Each structure stands twice: as structure tokens, then as C-alpha cells.
């Protein structure tokens, strides 16, 4: 008997009776890279057998390795949330099982389920957030940055990385099929490139001060749980390159995303905690550069959905891209 494919694995993991806690039901969420199964108290994440330019999950061995990396990296900011990995096993007679007696054919990340109503994006949407709510998570993040080891990276290479990012997004966002305002994109990108070329010291000082670290990589409100014991989850485990950054970059991104949801001041609370804990005062010009940089990147990711044959609501993603361009110019 051949091993089950992804469809059979997903069908199996939809069944409540296969989980140790025997939940009442299983919620299922599909992303570009994973299937996520939520029980009453736990979360199980199965990687899809996909390959993109930035990642390769095409074999069980590669998916196992990524599960282990996801566990290791996310325990930096959510130690009690990431419980371990779980084997999906297969026996020709008994079939699939979670941690059964058969051969391991895939691996899942096993997490504790966080309260949905305490995730930062949900609190912002409901206008149920105060600085006191946010402060434990903001201090937790700031202490992580303060303790991170600086990355050995030459200042010119750091600037080249940023320049490549701007030029890549300029190229993508100006494609006619995406229907965005080309002159607007060009104006934003050219201003970014002029700042990089005309004020290299703004960026070089960050390298010289040891501010470039291995961060989270995808610091959005939906990844921050504002409980008394906070958890910051779902870092970009598959790409070290995308995790090498300036905390000012990551925090400018968080401010941008909070503002997009209607809570601009919330992101500023995180930035204030960072300044308090680290003593670092990123210049406003630098924060604005990173805000625009991230807005262009998120606009690019939004329009990439238009190429996905499984995505039908193209207007939604086109408007999302336009919203990011609006925020970049704010």
C-alpha cells in the first residue's frame, strides 16, 4: 500500500477522535504553507509538501527539519506555547495515527492554543486595548531585542540588502496586471533609494552599534498574545535572511500593522518600551524608511495573491495593496 498523500492526511487530522484529548470538534485553517488543526486546547500544524523560492517543504525530512526549527526559534518568545513536535505515523494495516506504532511519515508542530480574544489584532479591532494590557508583551519583546547577539554584517552589505528589497518591490508593484498607480509606487521607491544613497550613515550607524540581530521576522498583531504571561508566535522560521534585521525595522512594521487595524498608538507603546529597556533611540527618518519599506513589501505580498489560481477575491487583495501604499505615504 502506498503512503497517504496530503489529502488523506488532512482528512484524518480533521477527525476529533484521533487526538489524545478527544476534543468536541476540530477547527481547520489552511494557509499557503500549512494546514492548521485547532482542538479545544491545542494546535497542530502540518506543513504542505510545497517548494517556493524562499522555502522547500517537498520531502518529509525537510518538513521535519522545519518543524524542529519552528519549535526552537519560537520558544525564544513563546516557550510555554510551543509544546513539541508530533509524529504522524502510518501502518499498512492500521492506517494513519498520531504517534502510533507505524512508520513516521510526517511531523506536526504541537502548540498550546492561545485565547483568541487576547490576540492583539482582535483587541485592536474591538477597541479593547490599553497600554497596561500591552506592556507585559512590549517589555517581553524589548528584553528579547536587548539580549540578542549582534549579527556580523558589513554596513555596505546591509545597505545593499535594503536596496535589493526596494528594487524588487518596485519591479513587482509596477507590473500592469496588478492595476496599481505606477507613479505612486515609483515616487515611494525612489525616495527610499535616495535616502539609502544620500544618507548611508543613517544605516551604517545601526550596524556599527550592533543593532542588526536575528529577530522575529513577521511581527504582526495577530502573532502577539497580550495575556499576563505574553506569547509572541509564528516567527519566520524558514528564512534566516528575513530574520536578520534592525529592531527599528521590526517595530516600524508593527506600528504600520497596528495602524492598518485602527490602533496606531498601540504600536507606539511597543516602540516606547523598546526605548525604555534598551536605551536605543532610532531616528525618525530611519523609522519612516522602515515603515515605507515594510508597506511596499506587504503590498507586494498582497498582489502576489492575484497570481494564485485558488484565490477568487482579487478585489480584496488589490485593495489591500492600495491600503499599504496609502499607509506608506501617511
CB 59 within 8 Å of CB 133: no
Look at residue 250 in the predicted model and tell me its pLDDT: 98
Look at residue 313 in the predicted model and tell me its pLDDT: 86
CB 299 within 8 Å of CB 256: no
Which grid cell sits at 19?
487526538
Q: Is 233 helix (H, G, I), strand (E, B) or coil?
A: coil
d(Cα 306, Cα 312) in Å, to the nearest integer?
A: 8
Which has the closest alpha carbon to 43: 91, 84, 89?
84
CB 188 within 8 Å of CB 206: no
Which grid cell sits at 260?
492598518
- Tell me the β-bridge partners of 232: 224
Q: Is 101 helix (H, G, I), strand (E, B) or coil?
A: coil
How do the pLDDT tens digits run along the chain, 330 residues long?
Answer: 578 999 999 999 999 999 999 999 999 999 889 999 999 999 999 999 999 888 899 999 999 999 999 999 999 999 999 999 999 999 998 899 999 989 999 999 999 999 999 999 999 999 999 999 999 999 999 999 999 999 999 999 999 999 999 999 999 999 999 999 999 999 999 999 999 999 999 999 999 999 999 999 999 999 999 999 999 999 999 999 999 999 999 999 999 999 999 999 999 999 999 999 999 999 999 999 999 999 999 999 999 989 887 778 889 999 999 999 999 986
Looking at domain 120-329, which CATH architecture does it have? Alpha-Beta Complex (3.90)
- Tell me the β-bridge partners of 103: 90
| Ramachandran quadrant class, 127 (left: phi over 0; alpha: psi -120 to 50; beta: rest) | left
Q: Are strands 34-38 and 42-47 parallel, antiparallel or unpaired?
A: antiparallel
d(Cα 44, Cα 317) in Å, to the nearest integer?
A: 28
Q: Which helix (H) or strand (E) holds 106?
A: strand 103-112
Amino acid at each position: 500500500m502506498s503512503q497517504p498523500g496530503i489529502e488523506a492526511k488532512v482528512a484524518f487530522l480533521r477527525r476529533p477522535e484521533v487526538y489524545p484529548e478527544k476534543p468536541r470538534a476540530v477547527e481547520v485553517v489552511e494557509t499557503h504553507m500549512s494546514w492548521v488543526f485547532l482542538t479545544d486546547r491545542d494546535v497542530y500544524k502540518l506543513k504542505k509538501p510545497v517548494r517556493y523560492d524562499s522555502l522547500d517543504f517537498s520531502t518529509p525530512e525537510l518538513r521535519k527539519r522545519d518543524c524542529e526549527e519552528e519549535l526552537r526559534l519560537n520558544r525564544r518568545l513563546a516557550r510555554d506555547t510551543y509544546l513539541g513536535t508530533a509524529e504522524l505515523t502510518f501502518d499498512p494495516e492500521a492506517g494513519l495515527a498520531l504517534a502510533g506504532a507505524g512508520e513516521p511519515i510526517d511531523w506536526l508542530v504541537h502548540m498550546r492554543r492561545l485565547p483568541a480574544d487576547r490576540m492583539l489584532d482582535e483587541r485592536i479591532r474591538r477597541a479593547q486595548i490599553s497600554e497596561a494590557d500591552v506592556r507585559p508583551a512590549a517589555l517581553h519583546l524589548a528584553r528579547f531585542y536587548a539580549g540578542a547577539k549582534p549579527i556580523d554584517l558589513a554596513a555596505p552589505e546591509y545597505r545593499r540588502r535594503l536596496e535589493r528589497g526596494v528594487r524588487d518591490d518596485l519591479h513587482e508593484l509596477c507590473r500592469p496586471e496588478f492595476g496599481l498607480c505606477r507613479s505612486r509606487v515609483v515616487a515611494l521607491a525612489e525616495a527610499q533609494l535616495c535616502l539609502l544613497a544620500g544618507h548611508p550613515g543613517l544605516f551604517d550607524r545601526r550596524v556599527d552599534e550592533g543593532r542588526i540581530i536575528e529577530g522575529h521576522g513577521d511581527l504582526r498583531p495577530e502573532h502577539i498574545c497580550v495575556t499576563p504571561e505574553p506569547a509572541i508566535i509564528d516567527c519566520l522560521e524558514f528564512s534566516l535572511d528575513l530574520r536578520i534585521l534592525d529592531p527599528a525595522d521590526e517595530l516600524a512594521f508593527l506600528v504600520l500593522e497596528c495602524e492598518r487595524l485602527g490602533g496606531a498608538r498601540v504600536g507606539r507603546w511597543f516602540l516606547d518600551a523598546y526605548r525604555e529597556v534598551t536605551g536605543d533611540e532610532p531616528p525618525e527618518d530611519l523609522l519612516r524608511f522602515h515603515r515605507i519599506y515594510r508597506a511596499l513589501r506587504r503590498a507586494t505580498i498582497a498582489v502576489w495573491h492575484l497570481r494564485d489560481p485558488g484565490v477568487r477575491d482579487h478585489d480584496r487583495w488589490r485593495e489591500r495593496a492600495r491600503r499599504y501604499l496609502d499607509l506608506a505615504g501617511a
